[in-house]
Amino acid sequence: MVVLSVNNLSKNYKSVKALQNVSFSVPQKTVFGILGPNGSGKTTLLGIVMDVLKASGGTYAWMGEEGNAAQRKKIGTLLETPNFYHYLSGEKNLKIAARIKGRGEEDIDKVLQIVNLHQRKDSKFSTYSLGMKQRLAIGAALLGNPDILVFDEPTNGLDPAGIAEIRELIKELNRNGKTIIMASHILDEVEKVCTHVAIIQKGVLKTVGSVKDVMANTGSDTATTVLIELSADNDERLIKILQQMPGVLDINLVDNFLQVTCSENITAAQVNKFCFDNGVVLSRLNEKRKSLETRFLEITGTKSEK
Amino acid sequence: MTELLKIEWLKLKNYTAFKVLAIFFCLGVIATNYVVYIINREVVQQVPVAGMVSFSPYSFNMTWHTTSYASGCILLLPAMLLAILITNEYGFKTHRQNIIDGLTRQQFIGVKMMLALIFALVATVLVFLTALVFGLFSGTSFSFYGIANVGYFFLKAITYNLFAVLVAVLVKRTGFAIGVLFIYMGGENFISQLLWGLSIKLKSLGEADLGNMGDYLPLNAADGLLEFPENTVKSLSKTIMPHDYTWLVFALAIGYLVLFYFWATRKFVKSDL
């Protein structure tokens, strides 16, 4: 079952092409990450499927149906910023959201507990901190226990504990069978939380698939290498020794440590032993797992896109 | 629609600016008419010429007209309130959130139009009651003669309100919207006066009697139907005034209303939010 399918979606703002023929499908019960640098078109994409922006071309469908208001009532959405009436309390704001969604008020207490705002429910929204506003928005999305949730940068403005809580919440929602569509520019977040990922850059879809597939499907030059970070008291001597080690392909001095690219069969332990045997004691040794970050940079290039 | 109005009420009932402006408007209607009443009694009636025939603006027949005319000048308050309410939604981005949460765009703008209508109705009821009370205190016998002016007041109120809705949807920012409302109203009145002068001149030169062209502008059309109440001076000047094409002004007023309604709706339904 496909929850959301977008077909050749395009959006132009005058001369700027914010989205260009983007197509993908979100399978049911996944955590689907939409990953891209700032200004890559993530929010534009979500804005279109929630009918606050008009597409310049292409179509989208929720659960196989053309988008409509009745469907939106059953989707919990946080788009871009927490949008609430500043002069109303958190609880009163949720009452309005619940009424629009056609839900009763019985959920309000529950979601306020989940997002840890119960004690401040009677305070005006304008007095909330950035993190509290964000949590209220997540709470609003949870009203009515929807099967589909759309979160645009859900951990924006949260402190580290709050970030961890929200990530855990997203995983738990997914375990309970919810489908979550999540836009983020934070690679680590997508890697930790998502099962599927679509990477977009400058409005163009670069790749899409399960996180496992996207990471496995690497470029040819980096396919069979291991990246190890290490340093010692005397980096120059360390470089000389490493150059003699079989399997070492490339050595780069990065900041205050060395980044060593080795062939696939080399492990960190082997490197450690080799250095020790040659009289160098390592002060740092870190085998870098191939991360989504590396993959992301391979796909999008290393310079920040304007 | 009832459910949508209940949701609007949740937004309104704790909003201080709403309460303040609503109270100002209610007091304003009563105060304005009381001031007119006092001025007439203490000043106008003391000048022998004006009082050739004893003239009492709040006696029956006259009271409907006087109250409607005098209260018309504070219709800017509900219009301003509507502009604030709508631009607030843009400011808070709740116009997006309401759509995201499951309103249709048509519902969102439709219920604002409904608020515009309700504000106009409430203002009209208030004017009706004020006219009635002043009339009853005048000691004259009750009559509905001239009640059409209360209808014109309603038309003026709904025109101002829908114009405010349109301005809010077009400019989106609160301060800017209120600025535009004031400047437009001032500007239109100024042009209207020029056109009025031109109309009189055309007639006096015997070229054409096109009526008071100043009344053909969007807000002045509704204004023009609600004329300054009859008095001696006005009757005397009738001969030099252009002909009164009431039907044309009425048709234009309705036409402008329809234009405001469809323009604002189309703008909200079709554009990016």
pLDDT-derived band at A54 (thresholds 50, 70, 90) equals very high
Given this model, what pLDDT does residue A279 score?
Answer: 87
Preferred mutation among A100, A103, A124, A149 to probe B, highest tally of B CBs within 10 A: A100
Kind plus residue range of the DSSP H or E element containing B77: helix B76-92
Contact call for residues A45 and A202 (beta carbons, < 8 A): no
Coil, helix or strand at residue A151: strand
Given this model, what pLDDT does residue B196 score?
Answer: 87
Q: Which pLDDT tens digit goes with each residue over B170-192? A: 999 999 999 999 999 999 989 98
Q: Which pLDDT tens digit goes with each residue over A226-278? A: 788 888 888 888 888 888 888 888 888 887 888 888 877 788 888 889 888 98
Given this model, what pLDDT does residue A220 score?
Answer: 44
Residue A292 pLDDT > 80? no
Residue B147 pLDDT > 70? yes
Question: Which B residues in the span 81-110 are in contact with A, Cβ-Cβ below 8 Å?
Answer: 88, 92-94, 96-105, 107
Q: In this complex, which of A87, A100, A140 lies closest to B7 when CB atoms are compared? A: A100
Rounded to whole angstroms, how far apart are CA atoms A134 and A115?
9
What are the contacts of B128-136 at 24+ separation with CB within 8 A? B130/B29, B130/B30, B130/B33, B130/B67, B130/B71, B131/B58, B131/B63, B131/B64, B131/B66, B131/B67, B131/B68, B132/B63, B134/B33, B134/B37, B134/B58, B134/B63, B134/B66, B134/B67, B135/B58, B135/B59, B135/B60, B135/B63, B135/B64
pLDDT-derived band at A86 (thresholds 50, 70, 90) equals very high
pTM of the shown model: 0.84
Of A6-20, A110-124, A214-228, B235-249, which gets the smallest average pLDDT? A214-228
Rounded to whole angstroms, how far apart are CA atoms B119 and B256?
19
**Which residues from chain B sit within 8 angstroms of residue A96, using beta carbons?**
7, 10-11
Sequence-separated (6 or more) residues with CB below 8 Å from residue A59: A6, A7, A8, A9, A66
**Which residues from chain B sit within 8 angstroms of residue A95, using beta carbons?**
10
Given this model, what pLDDT does residue A232 score?
Answer: 86
Sheet holding A204-210, edge to edge: A75-78, A148-152, A179-184, A31-35, A196-201, A204-210
Compute the mean pLDDT over every residue in chain B, rounded to the nearest whole number: 88
Distance of residue B273 Cα from the nearest chain A Cα, in angstroms: 5
**Which residues from chain B sit within 8 angstroms of residue A86, using beta carbons?**
92
pLDDT-derived band at B39 (thresholds 50, 70, 90) equals confident
Structural tokens at position B74:
């504070």
Strands A179-184 and A225-232, sheet pairing: unpaired
Average pLDDT of the segment spanning A203-229: 74
Sequence-separated (6 or more) residues with CB below 8 Å from residue B201: none
pLDDT-derived band at A197 (thresholds 50, 70, 90) equals very high
Distance of residue B264 Cα from the nearest chain A Cα, in angstroms: 17
